[in-house]
């Protein structure tokens, strides 16, 4: 039986799926962060290996006819990583996988907000332009990191209210000044963990959280519009935009004229892209039922 | 001969001075970063030791009657550090030393902008309130780090002009996208090294740099006004505010009604504070001639 492998190597987790050419899943596994731009290459490799080996467990490796791996940031893949696959993998940007996770159309705009944030214009499965994606230090505006940093900024300035209370509690800080000390001592990206607190506080009516949500959504919409051409498909991806919450709702409202659709699992989209390389008519709806 | 030691442990360098009670300098030395909040404790200790030992070279240690050390951030000093001094040192915040570096008045407001940025209200050589000083991740608005990060943000967004050219050249980046990659890979505080490029580009008329200078100065003035009481002395300290340049000029203009004075060397101020502990009438103008 001919099967394909799809892998989505994200900042939070790595997910792999093995599916038949008509989209029937025969193996699935997930592991930790497999993005070599976010963690050490050896850690990323070990996580990707765990996900791929897990998905291939119980599958006849001789049947694997194609593999696609979606990687954020650095797309160079070493021979070591290629050796994990029974066939040479196709490596594409995570934004290409994200577009395919929302639409069978080979062209369109994808807006991703997970730990980072980026918008990409894609034509025929190829990136032709991006906006933001500059990393936590210089950009990623509206991302989970950005939202979390705003929450910490609000708390360290002792802005009264639920958000500050939630941040102090989450960090185990006794007072506002300790927030700065704890934030400085932690790895920079740890601030992304505070993002859900912004959503929680916003839902409960905290004005500081509502302001952060509004600004974050506006920044994400601006990033989207830097590359989007009206009339082309628009896909929302990444945890901030695929999980229900105030940021997702605000962004959907701002982008309503572009009728954005929500991305499904990236690994399924990667498997569909792999299937297309051997079977151009592989049905998108079978890999990504909506 | 009775002498005192003053030490200023800054984010960029550690400086120590040995002086007589009437302010005559008999030893002086400087070493690298001695701020245990910015580098490892062992590195900070080694730099402080180098500066202190250097200043004491050729001085009869038996004559040392007082020592004052000004430390940013964490003011806990281990027994190991105390053992470097012939007498138990008085440890004070770097903001207390900075005020004394500008005025003999025991009370007033100091605004520091170096690698970080903080304002402090001091009464009788004791900190009674601060503004900002939240570190590069959550604050330090208008600091060298902040200025440098704005420069990198401008460059990665390909804002045309001299500032972008200078940043690309400084980082050895071939194009704008590389700026994000290089910034992500470097230690976060390395962005502070780009601050002088903002001043340079601003002096040569670059609009992007002028905008960063104007915003940075406004943020520093806001931080100052959060704690300043009109009618009390105001002191400007830190490399951004003591070296000539557009940020210093803009801040001086904004704070003109408060008639701010510029801080002299912190180590001399620390030596004066040490001298005061044994000779309350130690002349400020002898330690810090203006």
How far is Cα A139 from Cα B208, in angstroms, rounded to an integer? 17
Residues of chain A with CATH 3.30.420.40: 3-101+264-287, 135-262
- Identify all chain B residues contacting A191, using CB atoms and an 8 Å cutoff: 137
pLDDT at A177: 84
How far is Cα B136 from Cα B114, in angstroms, rounded to an integer? 11
How far is Cα B194 from Cα B191, in angstroms, rounded to an integer? 6
Contact at CB, A139 and B133, closer than 8 angstroms: no
pLDDT at B177: 84
- Identify all chain A residues contacting B153, using CB atoms and an 8 Å cutoff: 134, 138-139
Highest mean pLDDT among A12-21, A240-249, B54-63: A240-249
Cα-Cα-Cα-Cα dihedral sign, residues B149, B152, B158, B161: positive
CA neighbours within 13 Å on the CB side: how many for A65? 14
Contact at CB, A184 and B133, closer than 8 angstroms: no
How far is Cα A283 from Cα A266, in angstroms, rounded to an integer? 16
pLDDT at B244: 92
A179 versus B75: the higher-pLDDT residue is A179
Contact at CB, A135 and B183, closer than 8 angstroms: yes
- To the nearest 10°, the Cα dihedral for A79, A83, A89, A91? -40
Whether B266 contacts B8, CB under 8 Å: yes
Assess whether pLDDT exceeds 90 at residue A209: yes
The token duo for A197 is 């607190």
- Identify all chain A residues contacting B135, using CB atoms and an 8 Å cutoff: 180, 183-184
Give chain A's largest Cα–Cα span. Answer: 61
Nearest CA in chain B to A189: B137
pLDDT at A93: 86
How far is Cα B224 from Cα A98, in angstroms, rounded to an integer? 46
| A190 secondary structure, DSSP code | G
Helix, strand, coil percentages in chain A from 3-state DSSP, rounded to 5: 45, 20, 30
Q: How many CB atoms lie within 10 A of CB A146?
A: 28
User: Taking the mean position of all CA atoms in its chain, how far away is CA B288?
Assistant: 16
- What burial letters (b/e) apply to A186-206, b meaning 16+ CB within 10 Å? eebbbbbbbbbbbbbbbeeeb
Of the pLDDT bands very low, low, confident and very high (cuts 50, 70, 90), residue A202 is very high
The correct CATH number of A135-262 out of 3.90.700.10, 3.90.76.10, 3.30.420.40, 3.40.50.300 is 3.30.420.40
Nearest to A14 by CA among A117, A84, A88: A84
- Chain A and chain B share a number of CB contacts under 8 A equal to 55
Round the average pLDDT of chain A to a whole number and report it.
Answer: 90
Q: How many CB atoms lie within 10 A of CB B245?
A: 19
Question: Percentage of residues in chain A with pLDDT exceeding 90?
Answer: 60
The correct CATH number of B3-101+264-287 out of 3.40.50.300, 3.40.50.720, 2.60.40.1180, 3.30.420.40 is 3.30.420.40
The label of the residue with tokens 């009264």 reads A160
Contacts (Cβ under 8 Å, ≥6 apart) of A280: none
pLDDT at B36: 65
Assess whether pLDDT exceeds 80 at residue A176: yes
Of A133, A139, A188, nearest to B137 by CB-CB distance is A188
The label of the residue with tokens 């103008």 reads B285
pLDDT at B76: 62
Q: Please give the C-alpha separations between residue A48 and each of A7, A51, A274, in angstroms, as whole numbers.
A: 8, 5, 17
* Chain B residues touching chain A at CB-CB below 8 Å: 37, 133-139, 149, 152-153, 156-157, 179-180, 183-184, 188, 191
The token duo for B237 is 């300290």
pLDDT at B233: 96
pLDDT at A109: 97
Average pLDDT for A201-213: 96
How far is Cα B257 from Cα B84, in angstroms, rounded to an integer? 43
ipTM of the complex: 0.77
Shortest Cα distance, chain B CAs vs residue A24, angstroms: 39
Of A37, A134, A184, nearest to B137 by CB-CB distance is A184
Contact at CB, A184 and B153, closer than 8 angstroms: no
Q: How many CB atoms lie within 10 A of CB A256?
A: 9
Average pLDDT for A202-225: 97
Of the pLDDT bands very low, low, confident and very high (cuts 50, 70, 90), residue A32 is confident
Phi and psi at residue A135, to the nearest 5°? 90, 165
How far is Cα B213 from Cα A276, in angstroms, rounded to an integer? 53
The token duo for A37 is 């731009």
Nearest to B44 by CA among B54, B29, B34: B34
Q: What is the pLDDT of residues A61-102, one digit of tens each?
A: 889 999 998 887 555 666 777 777 888 888 888 899 999 999
Whether A168 contacts A155, CB under 8 Å: yes
| A88 secondary structure, DSSP code | P
pLDDT at B38: 63
* Among A118-127, A137-146, A276-285, the least confident range: A276-285
| Strand (E) or helix (H) holding B37 | none
A252 versus B290: the higher-pLDDT residue is A252
Task: Report chain B (290 residues): mean pLDDT per 10 consecutive residues.
Answer: 88 86 90 70 81 90 90 67 82 91 95 93 93 92 96 92 94 89 84 95 95 97 96 94 95 96 92 90 86
């Amino acid at each position: 039986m001919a099967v394909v492998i799809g892998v989505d190597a994200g900042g939070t987790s790595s997910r792999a799926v093995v599916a038949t050419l008509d989209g029937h899943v025969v193996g699935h596994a997930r592991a930790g962060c497999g993005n070599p731009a976010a963690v050490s290459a050896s850690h990323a490799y070990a996580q990707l290996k765990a996900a791929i080996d897990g998905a291939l467990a119980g599958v006849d490796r001789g049947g694997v006819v194609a593999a696609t791996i979606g990687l954020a940031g650095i797309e160079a893949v070493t021979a070591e990583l290629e050796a994990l696959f029974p066939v040479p993998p196709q490596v594409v940007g995570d934004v290409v996988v994200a577009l395919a996770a929302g639409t069978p159309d080979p062209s369109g705009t994808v807006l991703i907000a997970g730990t980072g944030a980026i918008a990409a214009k894609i034509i025929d499965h190829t990136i032709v332009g991006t906006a933001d994606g500059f990393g936590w230090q210089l950009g990623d505006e509206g991302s989970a990191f950005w939202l979390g940093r705003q929450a910490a900024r609000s708390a360290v300035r002792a802005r009264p209210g639920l958000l500050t209370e939630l941040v102090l509690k989450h960090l185990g800080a006794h007072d506002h000044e300790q927030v700065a000390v704890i934030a400085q001592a932690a790895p920079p990206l740890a601030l992304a963990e505070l993002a859900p607190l912004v959503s929680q506080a916003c839902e409960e009516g905290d004005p500081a959280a509502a302001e952060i949500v509004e600004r974050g959504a506006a920044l994400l919409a601006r990033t989207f519009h830097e590359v989007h051409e009206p009339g082309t498909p628009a896909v929302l991806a990444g945890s901030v935009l695929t999980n229900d919450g105030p940021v997702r709702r605000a962004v959907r409202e701002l982008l309503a004229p572009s009728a954005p659709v929500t991305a499904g699992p990236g690994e399924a989209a990667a498997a569909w892209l792999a299937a297309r390389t051997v079977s151009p008519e592989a049905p998108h709806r079978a890999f990504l039922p909506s």
